[in-house]
A and B are shown apart, each in its own frame.
Chain A
Amino acid sequence: MNLTESALGLAVGVAALAALAVAALPGRWRPACAGAGTALAGAAGVAAGVAALTGRPFSLSLPGLLPLSGLEFGADRLSGFFIAVTGAVAVPAGVYATGYLRHSGTSRSACAFLPLFAASMLLVPAAAWAVTLLACWELMALTSLLQVLAEHRRRPEVAEAGRWYAVMTHLGFACILAALMLAGGGSLLAVRHLPAGLAGTVFVLALAGFGSKAGIVPLHAWLPRAHPEAPSHVSALMSAAMVNLGVYGIIRTGFGLLGGGARWWWLLVLALGAVSAVYGILQAAMSSDLKRLLGYSTTENMGLVLVGLGAAGLFAGTGHRVLAGLALTAALLHVAGHAAFKTLLFLSAGAVAQRAGTRDLDALGGLRGGMPATTAAFAWGALAASALPPGTAFVSEWLLLQALIHGLPGGGTAAAVVLPTAVAAVALTAGLSAATFVKAFGTGFLARPRSDGAARAAEAPGSMLAGMALAGAACAVLALVPGAVLPALARAAAMTAGPAVAGLVTLRLSGAAGELSPLLLALAVLAVTLVAAGWLRVLPGRRARRAARLWDCGAGPLTARMEYTATAFAEPLQRVFDDVLAPETGIDVTHLDEARYLVAAVEYRRRVPDRVERRLYQPALAAVRAWGEAGRRLAPGSVHRYLGYGFYAVVALLIVLTVTR
């Protein structure tokens, strides 16, 4: 029994014990117990993941635990990476939950299933056989569904979000089940040589199943519903850890199980990734619900990861092993970075939602005074997410762009068309995400409060702040010294994408020209900022200083109603992307009765519906409903009719048997 195995066993054991303890304890102790159990399981998961990532694989067979097939666990470097990321998300989420749950007073089941959810996510990458993976996957889906539904008594939207999530996750499960059974079941760690057509079917099914979990367009519809409605530590776990397992599944089936595959697979992955990235961040830019914005941003980031995966598959197929390793490393680094900053952002957004009583950015503002620490946490998370130095996402996106740009020569016609487009999509995404997070931070936290809730908001308790601090520290490590984790990631990527790349991919790329030192870059940015601030202080000191009221066009003191709201901030972007977003706007002008030319009131409405959802899901839902209505005619309520169905079926079967025998 090596370190990986014992740490993973410890994580599962701690989580199960915590769940049992929560079920037995009185309400007062439940949040502390559930949170501590989750954090400890996460810490053990980090230990297990790091051990596997640094080259201590394990395999464990439990034949008696599940009838017929038994359970088979095992972890290589790739599994280790995803186990470590999941554990690292569970630690701050667990710490945060001890404070959050105490104030939101959730039920026994919501508390008890939290550690189990974390443990099931740790087990998914450790599953070595198809049936084990499916069992862990389903366990994860069910525990997360129960977590999403935790606050259903207080908000009716939660039930609808839960329905969407339940249906989508089970459709995804069906796809994965079909894919793994078509591939022949059995071990996931061995390469399977299938005929090309069958392998393509398996890959597309797996892409649909795992992609729906990762929130890839057009299977993303559940994500911006379910992630915001869950309690915030669960949003963090889902958005920062669970979606990664979709990526893990695609890597495992595409590179591991099917061993590479045709070029069109990876072009499909790349295209889906690019579309998801751009569409996700556009919807995020339009959203004025803080947590929904973060949910769409998850779709965007998973899209970027898929761009990396697609590029890696494309390069590996044409024999460019170094570039394939680089692209896959960039994707993995982005997974880690996204996990860090999305945890931080969801945790701080949850503190805002709990303290101010609303997630509507249009009604927030002015939180800087009441919640300074949370504001700082969100600001750091927003910087990390917006692909600007010295942020976390900047490093991985830079690596991704390097891989895409250096792959241009010698990639063939398809690469010559697709790669520049992908570069453009990544660049557009980076720009839009900067605008999105400027909007979220600027209108949500700065300026003056636009509602009573925002004005009264007080700082979150220490345990919640401690959770944010942990996530913020992880962001800082990944942003400033990514070199600490990159060699391990490169080895994990090398194992899947190509054998010869290990050690080649650092930030000093030896396979491709280009070099970057995030730490020096951050120091430079800091130095320039300090010099500029100091200069601004020194410069006016020479003249006489005068305090005056802000210029307000002579209209009296400025009120909070005159501020930029989130909707107003996003309006120019909405105009630019009018054709893509197809917003619905309506203006109602009411005139005075006595004078038709004088306006009494103007009402302006704007909605930016999810266009994919409207075009793709609503017709499908309408068809299902029509089918159901047609089916109701078969069931008019007559007992005789029901008995008759059975009778006719039996007689018809007997006749068929007689005739065909």
Chain B
Amino acid sequence: MSAVMSGVMTSTVYVQLLDLACGALLATAVVIVWRRRLAAIIRTFAVQGAALAALAGVLAVHARDVRLGVIAAGVLALRAVVFPWLLGRALAASGPAPGERETRPLVNVTASLLAVAVLTLIAYAVSRPLTALAPSPAADAIPVGIAVTLAGFFVLVTRRRAVSQLAGFLLMDNGITATGLLTTASAGLLTEAGVSLDVLLAAVVLRALAGRMRDAFGDTDLDDLRELRD
């Protein structure tokens, strides 16, 4: 695909593709905040992984960087396939009802969407100096990465179910990866691989933890852990 596209990819096409990928990234983050059905969240998460991979791919083609291409392939495999599959397994393990919903989020959906809007504003405001450092189409998209990170953190804080918290954690990591891709011209392959492995490990551990919690408490509401303190 790169051989075909590199010839045709002008500056305008590159910017449009980049913005499309970033837009998809942000839109899927908002959808994850909006939807309450856990299965739907996981599907959206897979789409976001693909958007992130596309972002890396576009950057790779523009920079003609083989290593970035390898990273894009890795991101696609990990975030669009492995993580959603792990989340699906966690969901299946956590209950007989596949349509389990995030029943009582600590902040209701409308307020959550408003909060994500505010967080996006903050992300844009705070990343102005970063953008001003080296103005480029990629640098202009940095706020999207930060916004996705903050949205992920927000999901992590406000959701009760272990699975949706896991989704929040991975969303946050997607945001961090996107910011990393957009800020650094050529991320080290080894660094990216290491970070991805870390996240994979964390996801596996959290999944196992969710299963254990279910066995122990019959539920994955994290507030039940309150009894474990002291």
Contacts and interface: CB of A to CB of B under 8 A. Distances in A.
Interface of A: 635-640, 643-644, 646-647, 650-651, 654-655, 657-658, 661
Contacts of A646: 153
Nearest to B223: A638
Q: Which 4 A-B pairs have the closest CB atoms?
A: A637-B229, A637-B226, A658-B125, A639-B222
Given A637-B225, A638-B226, A661-B129, 6 more contacts: A635-B229, A640-B158, A640-B160, A646-B153, A651-B150, A654-B123
B164 to A, nearest CB: 12
A640 B229 contact: no
B13 interface: no
Given A643-B157, A657-B126, A651 B119 contact: yes
A654 B157 contact: no
B77 interface: no
Interface residues of B, number: 22
Nearest to A648: B157
A636 B157 contact: no
A647 B159 CA distance: 13
B195 interface: no
B156 interface: yes
B154 interface: yes
Contacts of A636: 226, 229
B225 A639 contact: yes
Nearest to A635: B229
A657 B128 CA distance: 11
B122 A654 contact: yes
Contacts of A658: 122, 125-126
A640 B122 contact: no
A590 B60 CA distance: 95
Contacts of A643: 153, 156-157
19 contacts: A635-B229, A636-B226, A636-B229, A637-B227, A638-B226, A639-B225, A640-B106, A640-B158, A643-B156, A647-B153, A650-B150, A650-B153, A654-B122, A655-B122, A655-B126, A657-B126, A658-B125, A658-B126, A661-B129
A637 B228 contact: yes
B126 A640 contact: no
A646 B152 CA distance: 13
A518 to B, nearest CB: 64
Contacts of A655: 122, 126
Contacts of B123: 654
A432 B222 CA distance: 66
A335 B77 CA distance: 75
A647 B228 contact: no
A653 to B, nearest CB: 9
Interface in B54-108: 106
A647 B150 CA distance: 8
Interface string B126-159: 1001000000000000000000001001101110
Contact of A647 (B125, B129, B157, B227): B157
Contacts of B129: 661
Contacts of B160: 640
A647 B226 CA distance: 19
Nearest to A658: B125
A643 B106 CA distance: 13
For the residues of A in contact with B, the DSSP-based class is helix
A625 B112 CA distance: 39
Interface string B211-230: 00000000000110111111
B216 to A, nearest CB: 15
Contacts of B228: 637
Given A640-B106, A658-B122, A658-B126, A647 B222 contact: no
Nearest to B160: A640
A391 B169 CA distance: 76
A657 to B, nearest CB: 6
Interface in B168-227: 222-223, 225-227
A643 B225 CA distance: 14
A639 B157 CA distance: 8
B230 to A, nearest CB: 8
A646 B228 CA distance: 21
A661 B119 CA distance: 18
A418 to B, nearest CB: 54
B157 A640 contact: yes
Contacts of B229: 635-637
A638 to B, nearest CB: 6
A647 B230 CA distance: 24
A634 to B, nearest CB: 12
Contacts of B150: 650-651
A330 B162 CA distance: 73
A638 B150 CA distance: 21
Contacts of B225: 637-639
A636 B227 CA distance: 10
Contacts of B125: 658
B223 A640 contact: yes
B223 A639 contact: yes
A78 to B, nearest CB: 52
A647 B122 contact: no
A636 B123 CA distance: 31
A658 B123 CA distance: 9
A636 B222 CA distance: 13
A647 B126 contact: no
Nearest to B154: A647
B130 to A, nearest CB: 11
A92 B123 CA distance: 70
Nearest to A650: B153
A657 B126 CA distance: 7
A637 B227 CA distance: 7
A481 to B, nearest CB: 64
Nearest to B156: A643
Contacts of A650: 150, 153
A126 B222 CA distance: 57
Contacts of B157: 640, 643-644, 647
A635 B106 CA distance: 18
Contacts of A639: 222-223, 225
Contacts of B227: 637
Interface centre among A647, A650, A657 (most CB of B within 10 A): A647
Nearest to A637: B229
B131 to A, nearest CB: 13
A637 B224 CA distance: 9
A646 B106 CA distance: 16
B223 A647 contact: no
Contacts of A654: 122-123, 126
A640 B105 CA distance: 11
A643 B169 CA distance: 11
